[in-house]
Structure 1
Amino acid sequence: MKSLDVKVWSVRKRDTKTPSYGVRWYVAGNVFSDTFRTKALADHYRSKLMRAMRDGEEFDSESGLPASLQEEAASVTWYSFALRYLAMKWPHAAPNTRDGINESLTSITLALLDERAGRPSDTSLRRALRNWAFVLPGPDAREVPDDVLNVLHWVAKASRPLADLADPAVARQVLDSLKLKLDGTAAAAETVRRKRRTLVNAAGYAVDLGELQENPITAIRWQKPKVSNQVDPRVVANPEQVRNLLTAVSYVGGYRRARGRRLVGLFACMYFGGLRPAEAVGLAETDLALPDQGWGSALLHRTRPSVGRKWTDTGETHDDRGLKNRPTEDVRRVPIPPQLVRVLREHLDTFGTATDGRLFFSESGAVVPSSTYYRVWQEARALALPTAVAASPLASRPYDLRHSALSTWLNAGVDPTEVAERAGNSVEVLLTRYTKCLDGRHEVANRRIEELLREYE
């Protein structure tokens, strides 16, 4: 290292399809340059070079960088950057999204660790990252066990530089690692795609901060796993099967404890009203219009998804949010048939409401956990279905009741626009997801074509 003269050229816009801005400077007659996504980032980098020159720093003749910038580049590891990325995303993310980001960052971080002496076990690494590093408030703001601190200290030292992602071989290695679970078996396609989305988004944030010149992940020609968004028609139950299942629910847990009876209305809302489980859990008496005869309605505006305490701002197991994929204050009016009106009126007469007006609650008055109604549903399936059918995918999850509802409406000939409005989906998503469940549509189309041809015979 020795002192070298440096001249910093003004920022200029490069003639490319994607606007970028470059900085060029001379060191002992050699030209060096760097490009940035925005003019502000380029100006900021130019200012660092000018400051280093004014302070009399030494410049490296090979990299063209002053010592301060070399140290800065070397200090940005993937792990330190991932913590910054998490701090940016966390405040605006839903609890389930936070869980997904946490899981994704954990997997990526494990793939970007160097071989270093004293490596903890994979289980210890994953537990420390999942439960402490990638949760806010972070380890600096909480009391952390000494063994966890030791693991995180090792991770900070062993984490590879963020700049390594610019190497296509490294980026591909990280992407390939996302395809496997800890036991070496293949991960679910949707899980892989979700983790890749987080990696792409994080790399984009690094570009915004000027840590990377371009997003290296989007440039990799990598085979994404195919994900089927279509509903499996085998899970769709017919009205008779659903009626038997709801009856079986009322027998779960005995009559006096009513472990199943207090949830009959919850499952009925998913089938007769097409509600999502989190929408049904958050339903209150004031949201309902239940006439003595005929159709009623439900005004949906609240969901209570079960997500876990560490992902919510309140520290409660259930989040309290607006409707899925809608503005916070948006509402959705859902007509409900007389069958559901009768079930809900009977539920209110028998169990009343929780202190905040919710229809469905545990014996202690708390929000019904997803694990509770899932267990009740599995017991009801064993009671209501023949052994062979119970072993099949038919209505294997409570959410499948919603699939059955929407499939039934579409096969009944209800206009897809109306079905989408009631379900809270777009028409495009609705028809894409339920195309395999429209059993009667081919016969209708064939009949119409045949009638048309006969007119010309």
Structure 2
Amino acid sequence: MRRPGPVAAPTILGCFQALGSGSDLSSLRQAAKNGEAFYEDSGLPASMVKAKDARTWYSFAVAYVHAWWPHAAAKSREGMTDTLANITPVLTHDLSGRPDDAIIRRALREYAFVPEDRRPEPTPEIAAAIRWLEAASLPLSALEDARHVRAVLEALALLMDGSAAATSTYRRKRAVFHHVLEYAVELEELSANPLHKVKLRKAKVTGDVDRRSVVNPQQARELLIAVSYVGRTRGLMLVAMFACMYFGGLRPGEAAGLRMKDCLLPKQEWGVLTLEKTRPESIKRYTDSGETHDERGLKHRDGKATRHVPIPPELVALLRAHIERHGVAEDGRLFRTSTGRTFSGSAISNVWKEARTYAFSPDQVGSPLAARPYDLRHAAVSLWLNAGVHAPEAAERAGHGVDVLLRVYAKCIDGQREVANRRILKALAA
């Protein structure tokens, strides 16, 4: 076993001869002058052994993916992989034979940053890109130099085409980079998180909803009618799913995971949806099931947690009609294709895009008004708040924290300015 200890002068002289001249010799002399401990088996000082044994950024990033993969959801895996694929090409030496950037990115996303049991057989160009990355990658310790950290942040602030990334995109990727560096500090491979030394400011993200995207009840109903006219059967099979997003405030993944046993649907009264599962969509290589949809627990909640959402009679009637007309999948899911599969995100988006052209004027089609199916959820929560539903109750139904709810939907609450003005006038009169 190697251990630091005093080394006789001849051994140090032997190291000088083995190393030759230049920066290594200079470092060795400096270590001896500083009184550093030397390893008996190699005759090298502790600082040089540490540098010699240090991992490259590439090897550490691969190890990080393997460590965190089992604990992350498919979407988190996708985001983690995408961010590391942005970072890794930046942290390389200027080594000859560099592959095309698109090939490097494919090699990282589809091969290197995927667990070994999920990796496809690499093509010759992918294998060559991996060999180049292994040889060209900077050591992890290079991140102690602020210029490398800044280079990474500047890369994360740009899209693949060189245009500026949205502030939310930059902040999300920066958060991944921060977590990777914190992991390196935890393993004592970095002395401190070097990200704290570099400031690259982007505009602050408020995260609030654009009130221009929020439809009123009449517009929402017109959209649901328009959906029913899309395609021969696809639109009809999705009407009730979109209705769940508007009348119940469900997220798309929650609506996709809704099962018959989750629904209490009386004939003429309010019903209740007991949400337990969600089916978010991702790329197959990131899911546990190997399909595009994984079944998971509710967002931001314990895996076995549930959420009870009261739904108005109008939605109850739509769901009862949907079940009577289309039945349910073998596992009880309400919304599925004719073959029993979950509707893809692209299919849902295409139906919605076509329905907007039927329900809206050309000017409205070109506006942010209900531009995405998710905007139905925003419209639902905005409606609740404007109807006077207390924030804690609205937050519980939406599956939000109260602070997040009020921050996100602050601009969608109508009438507050007039109320404030009346209160101020009353105070001034007193």
What TM-score do the two structures reach when normalised by structure 1?
0.85
SS in 2 for 1:217: helix
Kindly provide the CA deviation profile for residues 204-228 of structure 1, in whole angstroms up to 9, marking residues without a partner as x.
1111112111111122233144223
Q: Distance in 2 between matches of 1:425 and 1:351?
A: 32
Asked if 1:304 corresponds to 2:279, the answer is yes
Match of 1:445 among 410, 420, 426: 420
Match of 2:204 among 221, 226, 248: 226
Match of 2:19 in 1: none
Match of 1:236 in 2: 214
Asked if 1:153 corresponds to 2:131, the answer is yes
Question: Aligned AA for 1:344?
Answer: L
Match of 1:111 in 2: 90
Kindly provide the CA deviation profile for residues 360-382 of structure 1, in whole angstroms up to 9, marking residues without a partner as x.
11111111111111110110000
Q: Distance in 2 between matches of 1:293 and 1:323?
A: 29
CA change 1:2–1:311 in 2 (3 A) is: farther
Q: Distance in 1 between matches of 2:51 and 2:32?
A: 18
Match of 2:153 among 175, 196, 221: 175
Q: How does 1:222-371 map onto structure 2 within 5 Å? A: 222-253=200-231, 257-371=232-346
Match of 1:400 in 2: 375
C-alpha displacement of 1:113:
1.7
Q: Distance in 2 between matches of 1:118 and 1:287?
A: 57
CA change 1:343–1:31 in 2 (3 A) is: same
Q: Distance in 1 between matches of 2:396 and 2:357?
A: 34
Contact 1:3 / 1:59 at 8 angstroms: preserved in 2?
no
RMSD of aligned Cα (Å)? 1.9
Contact 1:193 / 1:225 at 8 angstroms: preserved in 2?
no
Contact 1:4 / 1:27 at 8 angstroms: preserved in 2?
no
What TM-score do the two structures reach when normalised by structure 2?
0.90
Match of 2:53 among 65, 72, 83: 72
| Gapped regions of structure 2 (runs ≥ 5) | 1-8, 14-29
CA change 1:451–1:294 in 2 (3 A) is: farther
Match of 1:124 in 2: 103
Q: Distance in 2 between matches of 1:380 and 1:390?
A: 10
Question: Aligned AA for 2:67?
Answer: M
Contact 2:223 / 2:356 at 8 angstroms: preserved in 1?
yes
Asked if 1:3 corresponds to 2:3, the answer is no
CA change 1:155–1:400 in 2 (3 A) is: same
Match of 2:3 in 1: none
Match of 2:166 in 1: 188
Q: Distance in 2 between matches of 1:228 and 1:448?
A: 28
Q: Distance in 2 between matches of 1:430 and 1:306?
A: 24
C-alpha displacement of 1:30:
2.4
Q: Distance in 2 between matches of 1:27 and 1:382?
A: 73
Kindly provide the CA deviation profile for residues 135-166 of structure 1, in whole angstroms up to 9, marking residues without a partner as x.
12368x65222221111101111111111110
| Gapped regions of structure 1 (runs ≥ 5) | 6-25, 33-48
Higher helix fraction: Structure 1 or Structure 2? Answer: 2
What number of residue pairs does the alignment pair up?
406
Match of 2:6 in 1: none
CA change 1:178–1:438 in 2 (3 A) is: same
Kindly provide the CA deviation profile for residues 316-356 of structure 1, in whole angstroms up to 9, marking residues without a partner as x.
11010000000000000000001101111111111111111
Q: Distance in 2 between matches of 1:275 and 1:439?
A: 22
Q: Distance in 2 between matches of 1:399 and 1:361?
A: 18
Kindly provide the CA deviation profile for residues 22-64 of structure 1, in whole angstroms up to 9, marking residues without a partner as x.
xxxx9656244xxxxxxxxxxxxxxxx78x33x3x3135xxx5
C-alpha displacement of 1:111:
1.1
Q: Distance in 2 between matches of 1:176 and 1:280?
A: 38
Q: Distance in 2 between matches of 1:364 and 1:272?
A: 27
SS in 2 for 1:335: strand
Q: How does 1:415-430 map onto structure 2 within 5 Å? A: 415-430=390-405
Match of 1:30 among 34, 50, 71: 34
Question: Aligned AA for 1:3?
Answer: T
C-alpha displacement of 1:271:
0.3
SS in 2 for 1:298: strand
SS in 1 for 2:308: strand
CA change 1:31–1:449 in 2 (3 A) is: same
Q: Distance in 1 between matches of 2:117 and 2:323?
A: 44
Bigger mean CA offset, 444-453 vs 353-362: 444-453
Contact 1:377 / 1:398 at 8 angstroms: preserved in 2?
yes
CA change 1:348–1:184 in 2 (3 A) is: same
